[in-house]
Amino acid sequence: MSIEQTGSFKDPTHLTNWTLCLLYALVVAAVIALISGMLEYQLLSDFQEGVYASQELAIAAGEASDARQRLVAIVQLAIFIVAGVLTLMWIYRANYNARQLGASGMEFTPGWSIGWYFIPLANLWMPYQAMREIWKASRNPQDWRGATVSPLLPWWWFFWIALGVLGHASYRLTMRAEELSEFITANVVAQISGGSDIVLTLILIAIIHRVHRMQMAHANSQKNTLDSTDSLRAQLGLSES
């Protein structure tokens, strides 16, 4: 479902589709990273149990594992950067379009709805508030303050915060690890972080789907109303002549 424009509303369908495609790709990359991490866990366990018959075999297996992990990490990072840029663009557009649909008095501007992500400490709370406002304004532009919010949003932000904590913990544990048991612990935390990343991205995909549908429904409704009004005026003009 698409429209040309309603007032200065900008059809976000193309941007939304690209954003969702990259987020789905990010989920696939995260699943692959999770599988690769599990293989690394098994390798570390084998090292700990002395499975390898010689040091040469153990070193070769370790180097192969490291090469695989590096490749997966590079691909995952590249997809994350592109998906992140598109998501921020989508948030900007969603905030802008909510205003064009009639949501007046919104606290967050399109710029600040993404700007808060880059401000330390404030980024622990303000981006959630901005997204919450976008949801409400998309659900009911004319009375957005009284609109309800889906449970998807607090869950999305919970996993966002959890992912930040787990990612930091995984990095610190990996940097400090010296014994096999410490590397195994770091690996387990990394896998939990990876699982949280998948859940977070899937929730974000659901939010984007819902907001897009709500905004397009309002935009098409307004366009139909304008078309009906223009048609009525044209008929009246013909009758007067």
Cβ pair 108, 95 in contact under 8 A: yes
pLDDT surpassing 50 at residue 232: yes
pLDDT of res. 141: 94
- Establish if 6 belongs to a structural domain: no
pLDDT surpassing 70 at residue 200: yes
Dist CA 74 CA 87 (whole Å)? 20
Task: Provide the number of structural domains found in the chain.
Answer: 1
- Establish if 2 belongs to a structural domain: no
Q: Structure pTM?
A: 0.88
Residues 6+ apart with CB under 8 A from 212: 12, 13, 16, 94
- Establish if 219 belongs to a structural domain: yes
Helix axes 180-240, 13-49, angle to 10 degrees: 170
- Establish if 4 belongs to a structural domain: no
- Establish if 240 belongs to a structural domain: no
- Establish if 54 belongs to a structural domain: yes
pLDDT of res. 205: 98
Domain extent, residue 148, equals: 13-235
Dist CA 91 CA 185 (whole Å)? 36
Q: What percent of the chain has pLDDT over 70?
A: 90
